Structure 1
Amino acid sequence: MGKERKRGFVEVNIVFARIRIFLPLVLALLAPISLSAQSALSMSDPSILSKVVNSKTEVERCIILATPQSLAQAQEGLAHTKVIDESDKKALLEIIRGVGSILYPPAASPRAATGVQNAVRNGSGSQGAASASFSIDPTVESAHNGYSISLTQLVEASQGKIFAAPKGSQPSFLNEILPALAIFRSDDQEIARGALGYAERFSALADQQSVMPGLVQARYERLTGQPAFAYHSYQKLLDAYPDLWPARLELGIISLELSRPINALSFLEPLADLRAEDPAFLKPYSMALYRNGKLAEAEAFMNKALGLLPGSEDLNLMLAHIFMDRNNYQAAQPLIDGYGKKHPSDRLYLYLKTLLSKAQGRNDDAIKWARKALQACPDDPEIMILMAGVLFQGPESGHKEATSLCESALSFLAGAPATDETGLPLYNPLQIAMRQEAKNLAERYLLLSAYNRQDWYAAVDLLDKSARAGLDKEVVATILRKSGRYAEALSFSRDWYSENPASEPAIEAYLRSLAASVSGTGLAAAGNTVSDGGFGILAPLGSTLNAQPMLLGLAIQLLSGSTSKEMRSYLYYLQGSLDADGDSAIDFYRKALIERADNIEAIAALAKAYADKNDKTKALFYIKQARMIGIADQQIEAQLAALEAKLVGPEVAVVR
């Protein structure tokens, strides 16, 4: 037994001895094979290895540049590459998706639209914290490749958080800039400062081009209330990268905030197709159209924006203004009333509320709202003129105040500067148009006030200063004729008659102007106003009898046709005025009264005709009859008063 055990130990020792002998040989034989295998795994052909690195570097470079075009190029490169590992390819595609979702978000869904609206209203721009968070594709998340830190940073940034690369992690340009994207999903000042720090450090790196630092800086300036600096930053980016639509959008929004709607429209218009469904674009674009006075175009975009942003109060009020502009009061009213519940002192609200009440014939309500508007904006010329228009529409007791308001408003508008000290316009195109419309209205109100007062020289002076377009042509013709501007009155009424030969007001204006231009020349030269009364216009026809055939011919021709009683009454009166035979003239005046019993001109002419026949009783009868009916024409009243004084004496005439 001991010998066997001893022999076993000997045999084992022999085996180990053999192993010791052959081990160096085995190792020597195996060593080349082992080294050769390692070389095959980790030291591939240098040209292949170079292609892998350069391809990934190029993709990363495009991602870091981060323009819409460069991200698309990176995505396309990954779709065609044969040398990038599949897990890296998926990770890079996810990084592209994450960067794009934060910098270039798709149109916000209706649920997220409120966040967009709040971001724009608060002055933080269109890239506010409204979009959905970025989440990594599970198949990529489990791959554990070299891009896991970048992907985590994107996830955190999409939630408005900064995730710094852990100490000791492999250096990466991506990891140095991606945390800064948190600023686009947060309004927090601390996050903004941290993001700006990342952006500034990245900008200091050599040979790294990227729009991300510039966008981060511009957004930081927006968040910290520096719109002018943000404008400059976005403009610099857009000049360098024309496809950078967020910069263009922000420039449009800032331009609106800085009261530069013309600039805003120039920035936003190129995005109309690209961002047609994006409320972050639709709201500022429709506002830019509105403030540029393009109301018809603005309406369509406002309706679209309000479909996504139904609670946008300012858009609702602008839309109400557009409805009011085209007399759609039914559509405007709920929008106006809804806005007024939250903003009862808003200028535009009070302005529209006044116009709505006026248009609906509720003049007392219109005065109430206009006075509220005037209290809120006492030095606003448009509100002054709005108030004046309501007062002129009401009782005569308010006309003096209305006149004063118009005169004050016109004086203010005449002296108001159009630009600021830098030469920029103080008012947008819509405001300019509304001011011009208000100015035209004020001049028209004053002109009609002078017309109603029969202050013909004041009226013609205002007529010269104001635009005649839209004025009642009968008013224009009357002012020109009554102020003694016979040649202009004749020319104007002749053109009107030529354009509308069937129009009785045009015919009458032409006949009156023709008669006045013939018989009133001497009076005009003397500077006196001219009455249309027969004994005030056509009495001195001796030197111009050649006008009689034309006037009589026209009167007879018209009487032979189908005309109204009012027109026939005037034509008979005209014939009587042209007839030198007193008795024949009286017959024409009586015919005029048969057609229209309240024809004051014919009644006054009868009084004059009977006075000329020394029939005092009948003359006084017709003077009394004229006064009972009511004499609107102050000149006829003055002539009848003079005639009465001549007939009965000045003392009796005063008593009467």
Structure 2
Amino acid sequence: MMKYIRTIQRPTRLFSISRIACRTALCLVMLIMPAILPAQQTLPKPDAETLKKTVSQTSEIERLIIRATPASLAEARSRIAASTVIAAPDSSALHAIIRGIERTVYGSSGAVPSGAQASARFEIPVSAEGADRKYITCLVALADVSAGKIPAVLALEPASALSELIGMLVFFSSTRAEIRTHALSAIPRFSCFDVVSIIPHLILGIDAFDAKRYLDAERHFSAALAIDRTVEPAVCGFARTELALGKPQAAKEAMDVLCSENALNSISQDFRAYYGIALYQLNQILDAEPWLEEALKQNPGRTDVLIPLAHAALQRMDYPLAARYLDQAYRTYAQDRSWLLAKSQLALENGRPSDAERYARSAVKLDSRDPVALSYLVRALEKSGDDKSRSEAMMVAESVLAYVRDSADSSLSPLEQALRSQAEREALRFLISESYRRQDWLKAAQYYQQAGGIPLDREMVAAILRKSGNVEEAIRFTTDWKNQEPNSEKAVEAWLRSLALQTGGSYASASTRTSDAGSGLGIALSALGSLKGESGNSPLLDIVVNFIAAPYSRELKSFLYYLAASLNTEESRKIEQLKNALAERADNVEALVLLAEIYANRYLRQFDLSDTSNRDKALRYISIAKSFNPKDLELVARIEQIESKLK
């Protein structure tokens, strides 16, 4: 028998256990060796004190091994090295058991290894010859585990916490259902022993996660973290579970421990990916990008990081890179909402609104009440440009507002909350601008009141407030604008138009609310130190004359001459200032229409209407005004009114 053992040892000086027959034979050899050895040699018997110390130390080392955290395994290794009473074969066997557990559970990277990663060949060191029978049994079992096989040798020995633990480890080295079921069946037996181990919690957590029982997975991974919060497989398992449950903050907090305690080059690509995805779901998209990039670099086959990376590239306006990530993700995520929305945004940024609309409609089909998907459709329809698309976009935008308000949910991730807030802002921005384009001032004002602090074109807002009759608010708004941008000619024009409307100038074609009368102008002019004498047109006219003398552009000066004319009560002076306005800018339609009104009124004041010279002048100015194809509905109505009077 000893000759047989020497024969299998001689080539490599290692037990290379590759077949079940050989393993079984070895086990049987170890079982009968105690009966053979006394006939060949006499072993020294340890004294009672040494024996007691050996049992105590090996029991504590086994407890550390069974705990199976990287820290406890390192501590066990240190205690073995420091022991003076543990026999050399036992010491070698225990070291090998630690290496086997580390390789199987933690792999080379620290993350939970896949079956292929965990199945590297395990070899029993020859120096373990003569070790305690239970350790040899565990080593033979680890050889089976490394091959992804159920360790049958364990059935030959009485159950112990260590043997049951090693029996579970095959879960990490195989994805076959029957093998994993066998590993799971060892957990109840293991729980009968009064020991603590992280392994059962990891196994139960992974099994629950794979079955999408995320609450169970959360419970088991939390139990693993309670044993040691720095064990990366437990941290990664908990993190991806929290991400699946929509709790990115909890995932990040669990992983922050390793970020602070471990050097970044020692963590796995799984950890980098989950940390990046947690940051992404927390709406820290650009902060997530380097983590996700490194994870993809370490494992180019990963797909879960591609869409977040595409969003980061879109945010940085690196559209070619975003397109590359989305193309890589196509096979896995072609029907995923995030992929479709990213493709829609990319198409829109690249000037392809029809493609953007197609992708957005596909996303809406996944959930017709998804306000984010609907807002992407609004943007695509808006860019289409035709009235039919814009009309549909208005209805869709109304739906966005309704669904955002009806589906308020504080449990949504920060990213999703941000996307919904953005959807609401985009819908309101479009509804305001489209109502402005259609000159539906009351509806535009209604949407503007809902907009809160949404950044909008100030010229558009001033016009909406003014033409909807909210004159006092228009004066406040334009006064603030002018104070913030004193050199802005648009701010000056909007401010003066609001003041003119309040004082009843000719421009005041929109109705003025009674509640605004007498207050807005006084506030504005007092703030500027321009209020002189009784309220009326003269203070504002003085301001306009002062602005005319300032070095403004021809466009603004044309408006100033027109406004001065509208405020002036002397007809001849009005005509002179309107002609000055046209000299500065011939396409000033407002000046042309006001001139036509003056000449039309002169003609109509005649008793017999015999002199048609003023009528001809009015019609000539009307013809010139119409040649510029005015879009302002109020101006168009005034033109039509003049023409009807002169028929």
TM-score interval for Structure 1 and Structure 2 normalised by the shorter chain = 0.7 to 0.9
Change in CA separation of 1:223 and 1:127 when aligned onto 2, cut-off 3 Å: farther
Asked if the contact 1:572–1:589 (Cα under 8 Å) also holds between the matched residues in 2, the reply is yes
Asked if the contact 1:141–1:148 (Cα under 8 Å) also holds between the matched residues in 2, the reply is no
1:200 aligns with 2:188: yes
Of 92, 100, 114, the match for 2:94: 92
Residue 487 of structure 1 corresponds to which residue in structure 2?
A: 472
Counterpart amino acid of 2:390?
H
Of 408, 411, 415, the match for 2:399: 408
Q: How does 1:18-57 map to 2 (within 5 A)?
A: 42-57=44-59
Report deviation, 1:209.
Answer: 3.0
Q: How does 1:180-329 map to 2 (within 5 A)?
A: 180-205=168-193, 207-273=194-260, 274=262, 276=264, 277-329=267-319
Asked if the contact 1:385–1:442 (Cα under 8 Å) also holds between the matched residues in 2, the reply is yes
Report deviation, 1:41.
Answer: 5.5
Asked if the contact 1:164–1:179 (Cα under 8 Å) also holds between the matched residues in 2, the reply is no
Over residues 200-225 of structure 1, what are the superposed CA-to-partner deviations in whole Å (9 max), with x where a residue is unaligned?
212113x3333333333333434555
Change in CA separation of 1:443 and 1:591 when aligned onto 2, cut-off 3 Å: same
Change in CA separation of 1:368 and 1:184 when aligned onto 2, cut-off 3 Å: closer
Of 570, 585, 600, the match for 1:596: 585
More displaced 10-residue stretch of structure 1: 228-237 or 177-186? 228-237
How high is the TM-score relative to the length of structure 2?
0.82
Change in CA separation of 1:136 and 1:350 when aligned onto 2, cut-off 3 Å: closer
Residue 620 of structure 1 corresponds to which residue in structure 2?
A: 619
Asked if the contact 2:123–2:143 (Cα under 8 Å) also holds between the matched residues in 1, the reply is no
Q: Distance in 2 between matches of 1:191 and 1:598?
A: 85
Change in CA separation of 1:171 and 1:391 when aligned onto 2, cut-off 3 Å: closer
1:69 aligns with 2:71: yes
Q: Distance in 2 between matches of 1:136 and 1:367?
A: 57
RMSD of aligned residue pairs (Cα, Å): 3.0
How high is the TM-score relative to the length of structure 1?
0.81
Asked if the contact 1:568–1:592 (Cα under 8 Å) also holds between the matched residues in 2, the reply is yes
Q: Distance in 2 between matches of 1:46 and 1:591?
A: 120
Residue 456 of structure 1 corresponds to which residue in structure 2?
A: 441
Report deviation, 1:58.
Answer: 1.5
Counterpart amino acid of 2:329?
Y
Change in CA separation of 1:550 and 1:323 when aligned onto 2, cut-off 3 Å: farther
Asked if the contact 1:133–1:158 (Cα under 8 Å) also holds between the matched residues in 2, the reply is yes
Change in CA separation of 1:216 and 1:403 when aligned onto 2, cut-off 3 Å: closer
Residue 431 of structure 1 corresponds to which residue in structure 2?
A: 416
Change in CA separation of 1:380 and 1:496 when aligned onto 2, cut-off 3 Å: same
Q: Distance in 2 between matches of 1:644 and 1:222?
A: 77
Residue 611 of structure 1 corresponds to which residue in structure 2?
A: 600
Over residues 272-308 of structure 1, what are the superposed CA-to-partner deviations in whole Å (9 max), with x where a residue is unaligned?
3538441121222212211221101111111111101
Report deviation, 1:567.
Answer: 1.1
1:133 aligns with 2:123: no
Q: Distance in 2 between matches of 1:70 and 1:359?
A: 54
Q: Distance in 1 between matches of 2:533 and 2:270?
A: 75
Q: Distance in 1 between matches of 2:556 and 2:89?
A: 96
Residue 395 of structure 1 corresponds to which residue in structure 2?
A: 386
Could you say which structure has the larger radius of gyration? Answer: 1
Q: Distance in 2 between matches of 1:345 and 1:203?
A: 44
Counterpart amino acid of 1:85?
A
Over residues 541-597 of structure 1, what are the superposed CA-to-partner deviations in whole Å (9 max), with x where a residue is unaligned?
xx9974545434443443334322211211111222222221121121112112211
Q: Distance in 1 between matches of 2:147 and 2:546?
A: 88
Asked if the contact 1:106–1:278 (Cα under 8 Å) also holds between the matched residues in 2, the reply is no
Q: Distance in 2 between matches of 1:622 and 1:166?
A: 106
Q: What 5-or-longer segments of structure 1 have no aligned partner?
A: 1-37, 109-115, 117-125, 420-424, 529-542, 649-656
SS at match of 1:42: coil
More displaced 10-residue stretch of structure 1: 158-167 or 296-305? 158-167
Residue 512 of structure 1 corresponds to which residue in structure 2?
A: 497
Of 137, 141, 144, the match for 1:149: 137
More displaced 10-residue stretch of structure 1: 93-102 or 432-441? 93-102
Q: Distance in 2 between matches of 1:223 and 1:437?
A: 34
Q: Distance in 2 between matches of 1:553 and 1:101?
A: 88
1:360 aligns with 2:359: no
Residue 15 of structure 1 corresponds to which residue in structure 2?
A: none
Change in CA separation of 1:176 and 1:362 when aligned onto 2, cut-off 3 Å: closer
Over residues 516-557 of structure 1, what are the superposed CA-to-partner deviations in whole Å (9 max), with x where a residue is unaligned?
2222699423699xxxxxxxxxxxxxx997454543444344
Over residues 241-264 of structure 1, what are the superposed CA-to-partner deviations in whole Å (9 max), with x where a residue is unaligned?
434442232111112223333332
Residue 641 of structure 1 corresponds to which residue in structure 2?
A: 640
Residue 610 of structure 2 corresponds to which residue in structure 1?
A: none
Q: Distance in 2 between matches of 1:376 and 1:563?
A: 55
Asked if the contact 1:440–1:467 (Cα under 8 Å) also holds between the matched residues in 2, the reply is no
Q: Distance in 2 between matches of 1:198 and 1:588?
A: 98
Q: Distance in 1 between matches of 2:486 and 2:460?
A: 18
Counterpart amino acid of 1:165?
V
Counterpart amino acid of 1:455?
D
Asked if the contact 2:184–2:203 (Cα under 8 Å) also holds between the matched residues in 1, the reply is yes
Q: Distance in 1 between matches of 2:369 and 2:559?
A: 48
Residue 532 of structure 1 corresponds to which residue in structure 2?
A: none
Report deviation, 1:139.
Answer: 4.6
Report deviation, 1:474.
Answer: 0.9
Task: Report the identity percentage.
Answer: 32
1:162 aligns with 2:150: yes
Aligned residues, how many?
Answer: 575
More displaced 10-residue stretch of structure 1: 382-391 or 138-147? 138-147
Q: Distance in 1 between matches of 2:537 and 2:445?
A: 28
Of 159, 164, 169, the match for 1:176: 164
Asked if the contact 1:91–1:140 (Cα under 8 Å) also holds between the matched residues in 2, the reply is no
Residue 559 of structure 1 corresponds to which residue in structure 2?
A: 548
Q: Distance in 1 between matches of 2:95 and 2:240?
A: 32
Q: Distance in 2 between matches of 1:204 and 1:97?
A: 26
Asked if the contact 1:200–1:213 (Cα under 8 Å) also holds between the matched residues in 2, the reply is no
Residue 78 of structure 1 corresponds to which residue in structure 2?
A: 80
Q: Distance in 1 between matches of 2:328 and 2:47?
A: 74
Asked if the contact 1:162–1:180 (Cα under 8 Å) also holds between the matched residues in 2, the reply is no
Counterpart amino acid of 1:620?
L
Residue 113 of structure 1 corresponds to which residue in structure 2?
A: none
1:336 aligns with 2:323: no
Residue 30 of structure 1 corresponds to which residue in structure 2?
A: none
Counterpart amino acid of 2:80?
L
Counterpart amino acid of 2:560?
L
Report deviation, 1:500.
Answer: 0.8
SS at match of 1:597: coil
Change in CA separation of 1:446 and 1:631 when aligned onto 2, cut-off 3 Å: same
Q: How does 1:116-127 map to 2 (within 5 A)?
A: 126-127=112-113
Report deviation, 1:138.
Answer: 6.4
Q: Distance in 2 between matches of 1:133 and 1:438?
A: 49
Asked if the contact 1:299–1:319 (Cα under 8 Å) also holds between the matched residues in 2, the reply is yes
Residue 428 of structure 2 corresponds to which residue in structure 1?
A: 443
SS at match of 2:117: coil
Counterpart amino acid of 1:583?
S
